[in-house]
Amino acid sequence: MPKGDGLLNHDLLPNDKGPQDQCGVFGVWAPGEEVSKLTYFGLYALQHRGQESAGIAVSNGTQLLVYKEMGLVAQVFDEATLESLKGHVAIGHSRYSTTGSSNWENAQPVLRTTKNGHLALAHNGNLINTTEIKERVSNQVKKEKKFQSEFKTTIGTTDTDLVTDLLAGYPDLSIEEAAMRELPLLKGAFSFVFMDENTLYGARDAQGIRPLMLGKLERGWVLASETAALDIVGASFVREVEPGELIAIDEHGLRSQTFAQKKQKGCLFEFVYLARPDTTISGQNVNATRVEVGKRLAREFPVEADLVIPVPESGTPAAIGYAQESKIPFAQGLVKNSYVGRTFIQPSQTIRQLGLRLKLNPLKEVIAGKRLVVVDDSIV
């Protein structure tokens, strides 16, 4: 019987224990630039979106390489590794999961062999029709018997594996043509960056649930989950990839196609928690949005108190807004250990609880005897 998490009506594949959708993705096409290092810094800027594993795929036009390991971006990559990843096009991924397996096999980018070379893909999102996708991949294998032995060893167990299998499994179509055929059939949230030896691709689901930004370098283009990553690598923001849009970037320039009608909904949690405060989504600065949420909270739930304190870091802007609107003094009443990761995106409840104890410690001399308004970004 299909299994679900009680929140979304979707099937889970074997070994896939639940949503894994708040990752960070980055892609760059820039001949003459050190694209692996640009991708490294882009992933570093997106580290808050996923702390379990990191990976980079890079191509010089003839060879496509993937390097990925468990750990933070700075732990996975060193100078020597980045120097070995030469090319003009690259994609990267930092992985997040609330549940599900946290192991090397689920690290991205995913690599597959195609008729004409290779395909690497990185995914931020969660697909809800994985059983249907797996059936389509199996049907591809049966139709293309000369590739059957290869597919027997590469059919994956995660939604990202299956999408990569699907796009790589058309010997008579280009990657771009395969994407235009298959992307409309995917259900759920996805922002993809993917590449072959020469071309960078980006795609976003029709509802625009997960963000994907397009930026311009002097000698190339960048795709990233957040505008903050564009800022870090010196790319100017051009626009968001539209919901239902496929972008392809190569030596001929940038091409855009629509694979599904736009039905934009977005995800509120990007503004509340996931995105960096210096990121802009749908024309709205995340920090300013959080401050405004705090102001509205003060108007809707006024209280008598001595201090407003935040749960740092993502609760701080809302606490500032609450203090500004309520005229109650703002103070830092909790100290955060900067070396402890985001507790919500740790893979188990036990680790989250231990991390919370390490992460926050009260400033007793500030809060002792005070009536407090404690503002956090959310209750999860």
- In angstroms, the CA 293 to CA 321 distance is 7
The more confident residue out of 346 and 227 is 227
Q: How many CB atoms lie within 10 A of CB 251?
A: 10
CA distances from 101 to 50, 70, 133 (A): 14, 12, 20
For residues 371-376, give the mean pLDDT.
98
Cα 9–Cα 134–Cα 258 angle in degrees, nearest 5: 80
Active-site hit among 10, 22, 23, 289: 23
Q: Judge whether residue 14 has pLDDT over 50.
A: no
Structural domains of the chain in order of their starting residue, each with its CATH number: 24-274 (3.60.20.10), 283-375 (3.40.50.2020)
CA distances from 175 to 56, 172, 200, 301 (A): 19, 10, 10, 53
In 3D space, the residue among 274, 13, 207 whose CA is nearest the CA of residue 128 turns out to be 13
For residues 97-125, give the mean pLDDT.
84
pLDDT in tens, 18-33: 444 579 999 999 999 9
* pLDDT of 243: 98
* pLDDT of 18: 43
Q: Judge whether residue 176 has pLDDT over 90.
A: yes
* pLDDT of 139: 85
* pLDDT of 140: 83
2 burial type by CB count under 10 A (0-12 exposed, 13-18 middle, 19+ buried): exposed
- In angstroms, the CA 85 to CA 276 distance is 28
* pLDDT of 158: 85
- In angstroms, the CA 217 to CA 238 distance is 10
The overall average pLDDT reported for the chain is 88
CA distances from 185 to 25, 111, 128, 287, 368 (A): 22, 21, 11, 35, 57
Catalytic annotation on 267?
A: no
- 372-375 and 89-95: which strand pairing? unpaired
For residues 141-167, give the mean pLDDT.
69
pLDDT in tens, 220-243: 999 999 999 999 999 999 999 999
For residues 241-259, give the mean pLDDT.
98
* pLDDT of 7: 30
In 3D space, the residue among 132, 64, 41, 52 whose CA is nearest the CA of residue 98 turns out to be 52
Q: Which residue has the tokens 């997040």?
A: 96
- In angstroms, the CA 229 to CA 214 distance is 11
Of 53-57, 190-194, 225-229, 333-337, the poorest mean pLDDT is in 333-337
